[in-house]
């Protein structure tokens, strides 16, 4: 299971998935200029904002980003770490059983 071929496939899949998940940001994100002024001075502030999404859809877009870019990767990491911990725990139990003196 742990071969260099499988590692390469996993790396390519990871890069392709991350690129595809980042693609909507290229369409949605843009710059927005706001001018702030008082009686004597004015300042133009350029902000990076999700101007490609209507106000009603901003919550949906934000939730999609949260789930796809944070919740799902975190769940995958937690699952993988739990598997590693379980396998290590079992291997230490087996090692203790195998190395304990017989009575």
Is residue 79 in some structural domain? Answer: yes
pLDDT tens sequence across 6-57:
999 999 999 999 899 888 888 888 888 999 988 889 999 999 888 888 888 8
Is residue 6 in some structural domain? Answer: no
Query: What's the pLDDT at 5?
Result: 94
Is residue 48 in some structural domain? Answer: no
Is residue 78 in some structural domain? Answer: yes
Is residue 7 in some structural domain? Answer: no
Q: Give, as one character, the DSSP assignment of residue 102.
A: P
The pTM of the whole model exceeds 0.85: no
Q: Give the number of domains in the chain.
A: 1
Which residue range(s) make up the domain with 69? 55-103
Is residue 75 in some structural domain? Answer: yes
Is residue 85 in some structural domain? Answer: yes
DSSP string over 12-78:
HHHHHHHHHHHHHHHHH-EEEEEEEE-SS-EEEEEEEE-TTS-GGGHHHHHHHHHIIIIIHHHHHHH
Query: What's the pLDDT at 18?
Result: 87
């Amino acid at each position: 299971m742990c071969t260099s071929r499988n590692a390469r496939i996993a790396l390519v899949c990871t890069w392709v998935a991350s690129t595809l998940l980042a693609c909507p940001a290229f369409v949605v994100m843009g710059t927005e200029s706001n001018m702030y002024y008082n009686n004597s001075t004015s300042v133009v502030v350029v902000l990076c904002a999700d101007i490609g999404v209507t106000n009603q859809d901003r919550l949906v877009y934000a939730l999609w980003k949260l789930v796809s870019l944070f919740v799902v990767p975190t769940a995958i990491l937690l699952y993988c770490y739990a598997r590693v911990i379980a396998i290590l725990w079992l291997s230490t139990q087996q090692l203790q059983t195998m190395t304990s003196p017989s009575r």
